[in-house]
């Protein structure tokens, strides 16, 4: 930025450096890491299970955000684990989300805090859990979806644990909180999008187009134990869910390419599909009414410089007309054998110049968008622009954190997977927002309990949270 020193200081008092990108002519500014907090690896939820995997999905509880008179902020986050501690095999983990109350005291100075003092910048406290059920109260499970329930009433065919265990299997990865307390979630098995009531009961299910449904030998097969012949790859489902609040359009993105589009191989998986559904016709009170599939685009995920490997998307967040944040990263850091992460970025993409492939031949799995990982020439993808470097060494050091080297308490976690955005509530910087993110620690603790059984995962990885500050002009809250 070219400007007189004083003018800059007045306009952007929080910026320690000029760090911005332009997308569609709009300037987005990264103002750096402003808070860090964590919950211990061995904390328990109200059911007695280990409180973990918190990063899988996140949303700010509508109406909870407040600016305190002493300069701090308070609010409540909803955090959604995926399907429990499942290192050896899937477990009978009932889907649930937790409420986390926080007090945020943003730290914007250059001077390094100790790791202990840094944790005062984001004080987090677990306050409760909402367990997911079907309409009749039947509990959901995290067990592999080895079975299929026939379509019934307003429900399409649903993934269930087995033909003899008719419980809905959920592996939740995305979440949108509605103002009335109901929730949209996205999952990896279907991969489906579901509406649940404030109390956690199923209200509505949305199926993806045929190209995304997992098919084996011509039939739907929801298992995550092996890859299907076409459709979403095993464990690479609809990981990301976000909403355009103005039009009630839900956007869900696949974690990486479908089998026919390059599959799960990180050398060919960079072309991920983004699906859009208009859900304005669905009642969030009782799930009646229909959604409409209204758009589909291809997002070209970033690849590593050295080996060309895909940096999978772990979260998207709607900013404004056609523009999204995407959290893209490698899997290295705390919780992984390799502690040195090379890339974790809260990046930006725009679909305004990308090809809308909905209701086209690409809905048929016989017509891949990217055969062997090479994008079909008729498609213009949305390209990703790096924005906030989450593992900038200087920024981490301000909070007593580090990347690489020892796997100690101050090592930055590997699997950052969620985003929530809230206004800084500063009249002088009306376009400034706090971006919350949480890591999925995969329930790694030496002192764990999974569905009543004790376990020792061989290490302790705390549930880490970070908050960044950024200028996001035009963000629709």
Ligand X SMILES: *[C@@H]1O[C@H](CO)[C@@H](O)[C@H](O)[C@H]1NC(C)=O
Binding site for ligand X (CB under 6 A): 56-57, 68, 70-72, 103, 105, 123, 173-175, 186, 239-241, 255, 294-295, 312-315, 356, 358-359, 417-418
Give the nearest distance from C-beta 159 to ligand X in angstroms.
18
DSSP-derived pairing of the beta strands 313-320 and 463-471 = unpaired
CA–CA gap between residue 440 and residue 316 (Å, rounded):
16
Identity of the residue, 402 or 469, whose beta carbon is nearer to ligand X in the bound complex:
469
Give the nearest distance from C-beta 6 to ligand X in angstroms.
27
CA–CA gap between residue 194 and residue 196 (Å, rounded):
6
Identity of the residue, 123 or 367, whose beta carbon is nearer to ligand X in the bound complex:
123
Place of tokens 């109200």: 46
Identity of the residue, 141 or 314, whose beta carbon is nearer to ligand X in the bound complex:
314
Bridge partners (DSSP) of residue 21 are 28
Identity of the residue, 9 or 125, whose beta carbon is nearer to ligand X in the bound complex:
125
The secondary structure of 259-288 as a DSSP string is: GGGTTT-TTT--EEEEEEEE-TTS-TTT--
Give the nearest distance from C-beta 297 to ligand X in angstroms.
9
Give strand ranges (E) for 279-427: 292-300, 313-320, 323-329, 344-350, 370-371, 374-375, 382-389, 420-423
Q: Which of 148, 153, 154, 206 is nearest to 176 (CA)?
A: 206
Give the nearest distance from C-beta 317 to ligand X in angstroms.
8
CA–CA gap between residue 120 and residue 105 (Å, rounded):
7
Give the nearest distance from C-beta 105 to ligand X in angstroms.
5
Identity of the residue, 358 or 380, whose beta carbon is nearer to ligand X in the bound complex:
358
Identity of the residue, 62 or 285, whose beta carbon is nearer to ligand X in the bound complex:
62
Give the nearest distance from C-beta 417 to ligand X in angstroms.
4
Helix (H) or strand (E) holding 11: helix 5-11
Place of tokens 């860090």: 36
């Amino acid at each position: 930025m070219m400007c007189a020193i004083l003018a800059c200081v007045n306009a952007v008092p929080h910026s320690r450096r000029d760090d911005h990108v332009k997308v569609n002519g709009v300037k987005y500014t990264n103002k750096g890491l402003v808070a860090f907090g964590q919950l211990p690896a061995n904390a328990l939820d109200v059911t007695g299970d280990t409180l973990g995997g918190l990063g899988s999905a996140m949303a700010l509880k509508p109406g909870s955000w407040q600016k305190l008179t002493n300069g701090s902020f308070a609010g409540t986050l909803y955090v959604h684990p995926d399907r429990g501690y499942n290192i050896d095999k899937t477990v009978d983990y009932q889907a649930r989300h937790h409420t986390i109350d926080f007090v945020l005291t943003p730290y914007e100075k250059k001077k390094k805090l100790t790791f202990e003092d840094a944790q005062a910048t984001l004080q987090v406290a677990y306050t409760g859990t909402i367990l997911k059920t079907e309409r009749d109260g039947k509990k959901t499970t995290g067990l592999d979806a080895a079975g299929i329930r026939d379509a019934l009433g307003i429900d399409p065919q649903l993934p269930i644990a087995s033909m003899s265990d008719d419980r809905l299997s959920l592996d939740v990865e995305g979440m949108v909180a509605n103002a009335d307390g109901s929730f949209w979630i996205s999952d990896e098995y279907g991969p489906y999008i579901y509406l649940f009531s404030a109390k956690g009961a199923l209200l509505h299910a949305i199926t993806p187009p045929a190209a995304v449904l997992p098919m084996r030998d011509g039939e739907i097969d929801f298992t995550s134990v092996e890859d299907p012949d076409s459709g979403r790859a095993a464990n690479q489902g609809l990981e990301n869910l976000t909403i355009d609040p103005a039009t009630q359009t839900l956007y869900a993105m696949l974690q990486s390419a479908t089998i026919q589009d390059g599959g799960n191989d990180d050398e060919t998986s960079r072309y991920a599909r983004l699906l859009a559904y208009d859900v304005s016709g669905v009642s969030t009170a009782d799930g009646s009414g229909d959604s409409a599939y209204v758009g589909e685009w291809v997002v070209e995920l970033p690849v590593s410089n050295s080996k060309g490997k895909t940096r999978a998307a772990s979260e998207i967040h709607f900013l404004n007309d056609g523009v999204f944040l995407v959290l893209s990263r490698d899997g290295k850091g705390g919780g992984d054998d390799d502690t040195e992460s090379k890339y974790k970025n809260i990046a930006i993409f725009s679909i305004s110049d990308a090809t809308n492939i909905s209701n086209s031949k690409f809905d048929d799995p016989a017509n891949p968008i990217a055969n062997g990982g090479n994008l079909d020439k008729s498609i213009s993808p949305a390209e990703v622009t790096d924005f906030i470097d989450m593992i900038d060494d200087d920024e981490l050091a301000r909070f007593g954190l580090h990347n690489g080297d020892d796997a100690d308490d101050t090592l930055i976690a590997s699997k950052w997977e969620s985003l929530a955005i809230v206004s800084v509530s500063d009249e002088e910087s009306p376009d400034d927002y706090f971006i919350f993110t949480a890591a999925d620690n995969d329930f790694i603790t030496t002192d764990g309990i999974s569905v009543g059984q004790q376990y020792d995962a061989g290490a302790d990885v705390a549930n880490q949270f970070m908050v960044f500050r950024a200028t996001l002009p035009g963000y629709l809250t």
